[in-house]
Amino acid sequence: MKLSFELNGIEHYLDVEPGEPLLSLLRRLGMKSVKEGCGTGDCGACTVLLDGRAVRSCLMVAPQVQGKRVMTLDGLGTVNDPHPLQEAFLECGAVQCGFCTPGMILVAYELLTRTSDPTPDDVRNAIAGNLCRCTGYVKIVDAVLRAAEWKREGRWR
Amino acid sequence: MAVETQQGGAVGQSVRKVDGPSLVAGKPLFTLDLDIPGSLVGAILPSPHAHARIVSVDTSAAEQVPGVRAILHHGNVPRVPYTTAGQGWPEPSPYDTVLFDTKVRFVGDRVAAVAAETEDAAAEALARIRVEYELLPPILSPEEALAPGAPIIHDEPDAEGIYDASHNIAAAVDIPIGDAAAALAAAPVTAEATCEIPYSQHATIEPHCVIAYFDDAGRLVVRTSTQVPFHVRRIVARVVGLDPARIRVVKPRIGGGFGSKQEVLLEPVAALLALRTGRPVRMAYTRQEVFVASRTRHPMKVTVRLGATKDGALHALEMDVLSNTGAYGAHALTVLSNVGSKTLPLYNKAPHVHFHGRAVYTNLPVAGAYRGYGATQGYFALEVAMDKLAEKLGLDPVELRRRNYIRVGETSPIFEKIGEGREGTAQIVRSCALEECLRIGAERIGWREKRGQRREEGPWVHGLGMACAMQGSGITGVDMAAATLVMQDDGSFRLLVGATDLGTGSDTILAQIAAQELGVPVDRVLVYSSDTDFTPFDTGAYASSTTYVSGNAVLRAASDVRAQILDVAAAALGERASALELAAGVVRSRKSGKSLTLSEIGHRATYVTDQRQIAATASFACPESPPPFAAFFCEVAVDRETGVVRVERFVVAADCGVAIHPQAAEGQLEGAVLQGIGHALCEEMLFSPRGRCLNAGFFDYKIPSSLDAPAIEAILVPSEEPTGPWGAKSISEVGINGPLPAISNAIYDAVGARMVRAPFTPERVRFALGVIP
C-alpha cells in the first residue's frame, strides 16, 4: 500500500506492506537511531515522536503514521551541531553504552516541550518506560534537569 | 593527588566521552546498524525439552520453504567440543559444548539453525523442521543433580575438562588453610549464614547480535556485539574449522555487556551459515532468547561460617558453595573460584580458612560471567554473616569490619592459593582507602543517628544496613593487553587498542592515559579499538581489567613515544633529551628555553631529517590484581503488612585508586548498585516444573526502571595504586557486590527478619516476618 508521512521534516511517499512494523520501516529508511531492544514495547529503545508524542515504534505498523509527523533522534541534532538536550546528556555523563540513549533523549524532549521546569520526579516519570541497564538513571535525570535549566535560560533553539 | 592535570582532558578530568557525540546523535554505530546488501537472516531452532536425545532431524519440508538457503544440524556439522566462555588460554572452562549435539540439555538449547532470505522464511523453515526426541528425566536443581543415581547430563564421551561428569559436577574446589573446622569449634563466638541467589539475567538493552560477511579478499568478517573479539576469532576458527588468519572480528559500539557478551554464542553459527551459503548472514537473539539462551548469573547457595575472638578478631572463616552452572559449564570453575578468591582476602587476619565448593550441571539455562563473577554471591553470605557476628559480639558492624579488613602492606594466603581455575599469585595490597570509605559512607547515610532506631511511618519501618566488598583489577598470569601509539605528521596521535569499550568509557579513559603522558588534550588522541585486523591483542573487557591492564599497556606505549619525541626534538634543538620537557603540546629546553611544537616535531620526523615513524607498541601482562574497595550503606523502609521493601537511599563509597575519569567511575558505581538492587528486590527467572522459563521478557522479569531507582550516591575515595596507570585501579564490578547484603542487613535492622533468599520479594518478607505462616 501507499504511505505518505513526514519523517524528520521531509515528506515521504512510498510503498509498504500493511503489516510492516514502524520500527522496521524507519530502520529500512536509514534511521538506525531507532533501536530494537525487545520488540514487545517493554524497553522503550525504539521510541520515536509521532506528532510530538512519544510512541514505541515496535508496537505500531507503518500505515498508522499516514499523514503524520514522525521524529527520530536523527531529526534533533547532529554530531557537529547537537541539540542542547544532546549536549546535556554528554556533559552530565548520561551516556554509557548509548543503546537506550535515542529513546531516552526523545522522551525527555517530549517532556521538555511540555514544561521547562520539571521536578526530578517529573523526569523520573517521563523516562519510566525507557529501560537503561548501565547508568542507574542518576546521570540521565541530571542531564534532563540540566537541559531544562538551559531551556529556561533561553539556550534552546 | 600526585597526578598533574595541567592539560585539559588529562587524567582526573571528566572529559567528554570520545564516542559520546556520535552516540547522542544516534549514528549507526552498533552491530546491526550496518546494512550489507544481500544479507540472509539466520535463526535458531530451540529445544522445547529440558533433557532429551535427538532421535532424528528431518529438514525436507523446511528445505522446500522458498528463500531458505541453508539448514544446519548435528547431521551436517562437524562435531567439535568447545566452550562458549571467552577466556584466555588454556581455557579453564570444560569443552562440553558442540555447535549442534545429538542431545539437548535445557529448554532453549540449540537444535538447528537456518539462513533464509527473509525473517518470515526463516521462521517458516524453523517451524517445518521435524525433530524426534527421546525424552530424558530433567534435573532442575543442583540437589537433584547430586542425588545418587541422578541422570547424567554430560554423558558424551568426547567432552574434556569436566570435573566429574558421572555425578554432574562440572567443577570443584577445596582450599584448606590451617584447620578451620577445629578453629570454628573452639572459637568463642561464631556466626553462620546461608544465602541463596536465583537465576538472574544481565538484561543488556541490546540483544546479542552478529553479522558475518566476506570482505573483498574473501576473508570472513565477524562484526559482533562482544566483550572478547580476540577470543571470538580464536574460538570461531576452531569450531568452524577455518584458518584464524582468514577471520577478522570487529566490535563496533555495543549496547551493554556485563559479562553476557564474554561468551561466543551466535558468532560460530553465523560464520558457518555464511560459509555454507557464501552470503552475508545477520543474526540477533530475540529478547526471549537473550533470557533463555544467552547466559545468566550462576544461581548459588553459599554458606559462610565465622569464628572470632570476643573482641571481634576473625580467627576462622569457612565458605561452602553450591553453584548451578546450568546445562553447560561456561565459567563454571572460574566463577566458583572467585566466590572465595575475591571475598576471603578482605578479612585476611584469620589464620584458618577453608573454601570449598562445587559447580553442578542442571537442565536449566546456562550460567556464565556476570559482573561480580561469583564475588557477588560470596559477599551476600559473607556480609550477612558478618552482620550476625557483629550482633553476637555487641559490636557496631562498621567497627567489626574495621578490626578485620586487609590493610596496605598486608597479604592474604588466598591470593596465592586461588586463581582463575588454578593457583593464583601472591600479592600484597599496595593501596586501600576502605577506612575512609567506611567513614564517609557512615557519615553520609547517618549511620550513628539512624541505625537501630526502627523509625515508624504507618506500616513502614525504617532500617539501616551496610556491607563491604573488594574485587580485582584483571586476572594475574592470564590477562595481557597491547597498545600501539602512532604520532602523525601533524603532531596528533592515533591510539590502537585491542581493549573493548562496552559503554564503560574505556576508549576515553585509555586516550586520557596516553594524553597525560604526552602532554596533550584528549582530542589530540584518536582511538581505534577492538578490531583483530588493525589493533593489537587484548584478552578483552572482563574481570575489571581494562583501565588497569590495557591502561598500563597504553601508558608504556605513550612513554616510549614520548621518549622518541624528545629524541627528535633533542636532535633538532642540538640539546640533550634529558634537558627537555614536554607539556601543553610543546617540547621546551629547560637550559636554553628553546622550544618546538609537537606538530613541528611530527613534521620533521615525517618529512625532513632522519625520517622515521614515531610509534611504539607495548604490552602489559597482569602480574598482580590490585583490589578496589567499597563500603555500602543503605536505608530501607519495610512495610510490615505487605512485606514491600523500599530502598530509600543508597550510598556507596569506593576506592578505585586515582579515578582517571571520575564521572565514568561514578557511572559504573551507580549502574552496578542499581543492578544489585534489582538482584535484591525483584530479579528472578522462574521455571515451570518441566524447566521452561516462565518470565523470559521485560514484562515479567522486572529490571529496575527510573521509578524503582532510589537516590544512589556514589562517592569516589581516592588512593594511589603504585602499579596502576596514573595510580588507577578498577571500578566496574565492585559496586554490584554490596546491595544484596547491605539491603538484607537493613531489613534486619528495620524488622528483625534475616532475608537470605534473593530477591526479597514481599511474599518472602512476609514469610520471614511470620505474617504468612
Answering whether pTM is above 0.90, one says yes
Residue B226, min C-alpha distance to chain A (Å): 13
Contacts of B286 in chain A (CB under 8 A): 39
**8 Å CB contact of B205 and A42:** no
Q: Which amino acid is at A140?
A: I
Tell me the residue range of the domain where B538 lies.
Answer: 20-29+479-621
A20 touches chain B (CB under 8 A): no
Contacts of B19 in chain A (CB under 8 A): 98
Does residue B717 sit within a domain? yes
Q: What's the number of domains chain B is made of?
A: 3
DSSP conformational letter for A106: H
Say if residue B354 is in the same domain as residue B380. Answer: yes
**8 Å CB contact of B205 and A97:** yes
Say if residue B76 is in the same domain as residue B214. Answer: yes
End-to-end CA distance of chain B: 57
Say if residue B603 is in the same domain as residue B662. Answer: no
Residue A92, pLDDT above cutoff 70? yes
Say if residue B495 is in the same domain as residue B608. Answer: yes
**CB-closest option in A98, A100, A134 to B253:** A98
Residue B166 grid coordinates: 558421572
What string of H, E and C letters represents the secondary structure of B329-394? CCCHHHHHHHHHHCCHHHHCCCCEEEEEEEEEECCCCCECCCCCCCHHHHHHHHHHHHHHHHHHHC
A140 touches chain B (CB under 8 A): yes
Q: What is the CA radius of gyration of chain A?
A: 15
Residue B248 grid coordinates: 577478522
CATH number at residue B114: 3.90.1170.50
A138-152 vs A101-114: helix axis angle to the nearest 10?
40
Contacts of A77 in chain B (CB under 8 A): 24-25
Q: Which amino acid is at A64?
A: Q
**CB-closest option in A40, A101, A138 to B24:** A101
Say if residue B25 is in the same domain as residue B50. Answer: no
Does residue A26 sit within a domain? yes
A138 touches chain B (CB under 8 A): yes
**CB-closest option in A90, A125, A136 to B674:** A136
Q: What are phi and psi of B746, to 5 degrees?
A: -70, -40
Query: Which of A71, A134, A141 is the best residue to mutate to test the B interface, defined by the most B CB atoms within 10 Å of its own CB?
Result: A134
Say if residue A9 is in the same domain as residue A69. Answer: yes
Say if residue B442 is in the same domain as residue B357. Answer: yes
B426 touches chain A (CB under 8 A): no
**8 Å CB contact of B205 and A131:** yes
**CB-closest option in B203, B254, B672 to A97:** B254
Report how far residue B69's alpha carbon sits from residue B89's, in angstroms, rounded to the nearest whole number: 36
Question: Domain ends where: B293, B316, B346?
Answer: B293
B30 touches chain A (CB under 8 A): yes
Say if residue B616 is in the same domain as residue B637. Answer: no
Contact of B739 with B679, CB cutoff 8 Å:
yes
Contact of B627 with B473, CB cutoff 8 Å:
yes
Report how far residue B181's alpha carbon sits from residue B158's, in angstroms, rounded to the nearest whole number: 39
Say if residue B609 is in the same domain as residue B722. Answer: no
Say if residue B120 is in the same domain as residue B268. Answer: yes
Residues with pLDDT less than 70, chain B: 1-9, 773
Report how far residue B773's alpha carbon sits from residue B762's, in angstroms, rounded to the nearest whole number: 14
**8 Å CB contact of A40 and B287:** yes
Tell me the residue range of the domain where A53 lies.
Answer: 2-75
Residue with the three cell numbers 520501516? A25
Does residue A58 sit within a domain? yes
Confidence (pLDDT) at B25 = 98
State the alpha helices, DSSP H only, in A22-80. Answer: 22-28
A105 touches chain B (CB under 8 A): yes
Q: Which amino acid is at B560?
A: D
Report how far residue B753's alpha carbon sits from residue B766's, in angstroms, rounded to the nearest whole number: 9
Does residue B163 sit within a domain? no
Confidence (pLDDT) at B1 = 34
Say if residue A89 is in the same domain as residue A64. Answer: no
Contact of B404 with B309, CB cutoff 8 Å:
no
Q: Which residues contact B687 (CB under 8 A, 6 or more apart)?
A: B140, B199, B364, B693, B694
Q: Which of residues 263-322 of B touch A (CB under 8 A)?
A: 284, 286-287
Handedness of CA B59, B65, B71, B73 (dihedral sign): negative
> For residue A90, how many other CB atoms are within 10 A of its CB?
17
Does residue B635 sit within a domain? yes
CATH number at residue A24: 3.10.20.30
CA-based nearest residue in chain A for residue B205: A37
Question: For residue B529, what are the CA distances in angstroms to A22, A144, B18, B253, B762?
Answer: 33, 30, 12, 10, 45
A59 touches chain B (CB under 8 A): no
Q: Which residues pair with B71 in a beta bridge?
A: B114
Contacts of B23 in chain A (CB under 8 A): 95, 98, 101
Say if residue A119 is in the same domain as residue A68. Answer: no
Say if residue A93 is in the same domain as residue A119. Answer: yes
Say if residue A105 is in the same domain as residue A142. Answer: yes
Contact of A56 with A101, CB cutoff 8 Å:
no
Beta strands in B405-459 (DSSP E): 456-457
Confidence (pLDDT) at B8 = 46
Contact of B257 with B265, CB cutoff 8 Å:
no
Q: Which of residues 25-44 of A touch B (CB under 8 A)?
A: 32-33, 35-40, 42-43
Residue B705, min C-alpha distance to chain A (Å): 6
Confidence (pLDDT) at B655 = 98
Question: For residue B270, what are the CA distances in angstroms to B58, B99, B240?
Answer: 21, 11, 10
**8 Å CB contact of B503 and A125:** no
Beta strands in chain A (DSSP E): 2-7, 10-15, 47-50, 53-56, 69-71
Confidence (pLDDT) at B5 = 39
End-to-end CA distance of chain A: 37
Confidence (pLDDT) at B6 = 44
B87 touches chain A (CB under 8 A): no
CATH number at residue B665: 3.30.365.10
Question: Domain ends where: A34, A56, A75?
Answer: A75
ipTM over 0.95: yes
Say if residue B615 is in the same domain as residue B643. Answer: no
Contact of A25 with A62, CB cutoff 8 Å:
yes
Residue B119, min C-alpha distance to chain A (Å): 12
Question: For residue B218, what are the CA distances in angstroms to B221, B274, B363, B693?
Answer: 9, 11, 40, 41
Question: Domain ends where: A49, A75, A101?
Answer: A75
Does residue B617 sit within a domain? yes
Question: Domain ends where: B242, B274, B293?
Answer: B293
B621 touches chain A (CB under 8 A): no
**8 Å CB contact of B255 and A99:** yes
**8 Å CB contact of B673 and A136:** yes
**CB-closest option in B24, B675, B707 to A89:** B24
Question: Domain ends where: A75, A107, A129?
Answer: A75
Question: Domain ends where: B621, B649, B674?
Answer: B621
CA-based nearest residue in chain A for residue B120: A20
Residue B251 grid coordinates: 566490535
**CB-closest option in A38, A99, A137 to B697:** A38
CB pairs under 8 A between A and B: 169
**CB-closest option in A77, A91, A125 to B707:** A125
* DSSP run (H or E) holding B186: helix B180-186
Does residue A157 sit within a domain? no
B337 touches chain A (CB under 8 A): no
Q: Which of residues 653-692 of B touch A (CB under 8 A)?
A: 663-664, 666-667, 670-675
Torsion angle (degrees, nearest 10) of CA B266, B267, B273, B279 = 120
Confidence (pLDDT) at B420 = 78
Confidence (pLDDT) at B772 = 76
Report how far residue A66's alpha carbon sits from residue A70's, in angstroms, rounded to the nearest whole number: 10
Contact of B360 with B142, CB cutoff 8 Å:
yes
Report how far residue B521's alpha carbon sits from residue B561's, in angstroms, rounded to the nearest whole number: 16
The mean per-residue pLDDT over the stretch A12-17 comes to 96
**CB-closest option in A101, A123, A139 to B23:** A101
B259 touches chain A (CB under 8 A): no
DSSP conformational letter for B150: P
Q: Is B611 helix (H, G, I), strand (E, B) or coil?
A: coil
Say if residue B539 is in the same domain as residue B584. Answer: yes
CB burial string B555-593: b at 16+ within 10 A, e below: bbbbebbbebbbbbbbebbebebeebebeebbbbbeeee
A120 touches chain B (CB under 8 A): no
Residue B49 grid coordinates: 525439552
**8 Å CB contact of A132 and B205:** yes
**8 Å CB contact of A37 and B707:** no
Report how far residue B153's alpha carbon sits from residue B105's, in angstroms, rounded to the nearest whole number: 7
Closest to B339 (Cα-Cα) out of B306, B379, B303, B370:
B379
**8 Å CB contact of A79 and B27:** yes
CATH number at residue A109: 1.10.150.120
